[in-house]
Chains A and B, each alone.
Chain A
Amino acid sequence: NAGVTQTPKFQVLKTGQSMTLQCAQDMNHEYMSWYRQDPGMGLRLIHYSVGAGITDQGEVPNGYNVSRSTTEDFPLRLLSAAPSQTSVYFCASSYSGVYGYTFGSGTRLTVV
């Protein structure tokens, strides 16, 4: 099992550009989520999904879109990148959304 795979690992964007951060898991987990991590802060939930076709907003959803067309994939889209979105982004999945979260290795995004 690869676990949770995130791509790319690093990305630099110009203000206003759009891009998609990819997340895939091969553990047949129903629950997937995206977090951002900023210096000196804990992980903050952006969006989450409890299963294919179902998504919901987390704590800091503005500026991001998600979709869940398959159980395996949960891409995060930045619609129009802003410097405030410079962060490290983590995707996580779990079987139930309660126990056993597995995190990807992260995508470090810089918006200039």
Chain B
Amino acid sequence: GENVGLHLPTLSVQEGDNSIINCAYSNSASDYFIWYKQESGKGPQFIIDIRSNMDKRQGQRVTVLLNKTVKHLSLQIAATQPGDSAVYFCAEKPQGGKLIFGQGTELSVKP
């Protein structure tokens, strides 16, 4: 049926603050996880990934944390900037399966 009026979860932060975007994944057999950033009118862009044998991975201004016990993934963005405003998707990949994307969270950065 039609999905009318669905709204993404929204996170609003002040410029310069740290942002934490959360994602609950569904499959305990997933062994690879990715965070994507999607700006308005564009396709998703890879931010950072993590394999299931790790619980933390850091990039430039971003950190991904993986808690397999509770099937939770988070993306931390340090010193959030207006250019970070976008929709952020997590994706999980079950072993032997295809990428499964989450619903997405809209990050809004106030100057």
The chain A residues found within 8 Å of chain B, CB to CB, are 4, 33, 35, 38-45, 48, 58, 84, 90, 92, 97-106
Contacts and interface: CB of A to CB of B under 8 A. Distances in A.
A90 B103 contact: no
Contacts, number: 54
B102 A100 contact: no
Task: Report, as a range, how many residues of chain B touch the other chain.
Answer: 20 to 34
A40 B43 contact: no
Nearest to B34: A101
Contact of B43 (A48, A100, A106): A106
A45 to B, nearest CB: 6
A58 B44 contact: no
A45 B98 CA distance: 9
B8 to A, nearest CB: 6
Contact of A43 (B45, B46, B101): B101
A99 B49 contact: yes
A44 B45 CA distance: 16
